[in-house]
Amino acid sequence: MNDPHLGRTIVSADELAARVEHLGKQITADYADDPPLLVAVLKGAFMFLADLAKQIDLPIEFDFMAVSSYGAATRSSGVVRIVKDLEIDLTGRQVLIVEDIIDSGLTLQFLRKNLLARGPKSVEVCALLVKDGLQKVDPDLKYEGFRIPPDFVVGYGLDCAEIYRNLPYIAEYLPEAS
C-alpha cells in the first residue's frame, strides 16, 4: 500500500505468522489438561485471535470485550472504559486475555483486575506487541509476541481512526505525513 502515513515495517507478515504459530504451540502445551477461554480485546486483537486460535490444538472457546483508552487519538488517555462486556461466565475457568498491544499497561491492569473479580481459576495474558519503555506497571505477560519501539503502529488489527486494520503486517504510523 502506497500511503504517506505508513512508515517502516515494524513486523512483517512472515514474522507475524511464525511467532503466532509458536505462541499457539506454547498455549496448546501449557493448557493441554484444561483448555482456556480466550478473551479477545476488540477491536485490535481480532486478527491476532483468529490466527492464534488456528494454531491452538485444543477445544477452546472465545469471548470478546471492548475497552477504550484511546478514542481517535494516537496516545492513550489513561481513562479506561468497558464498551462491550463478556457474555460467558468466568467462574472456575482458565482465562487467557488476547491483547494486541501493551503501551502503558494501565488498560491491561484494569482488565485483569476486572476479570479476576469474576471468579476465574486463572487469568493470564498473551500480548502480540509490547512497546519498549512505556509500561507504568509490570504487564506480567505469560506470552509475548514482539517488543517494538514506542512508535504508534498500525496494521494486523491495529488502527488509526479505524483504518489500516487490514494491513497484513505492522507498520509505523506517520501522523504528520501529507
Annotated catalytic sites, by residue? 103
DSSP 60: -
Compute the distance between CA of residue 161 and CA of residue 118 in angstroms, rounded to an integer. 32
Q: Are 91 and 118 in contact (CB under 8 A)?
A: yes
Residue 63: closest CA among 137, 139, 144, 118: 118
DSSP 163: B
Which residue type is seen at 128? L
DSSP 71: T
Three-state DSSP state, 26: helix
Length of the chain: 178
Number of other residues whose CB lies within 10 A of the CB of residue 32: 10
Number of other residues whose CB lies within 10 A of the CB of residue 56: 19
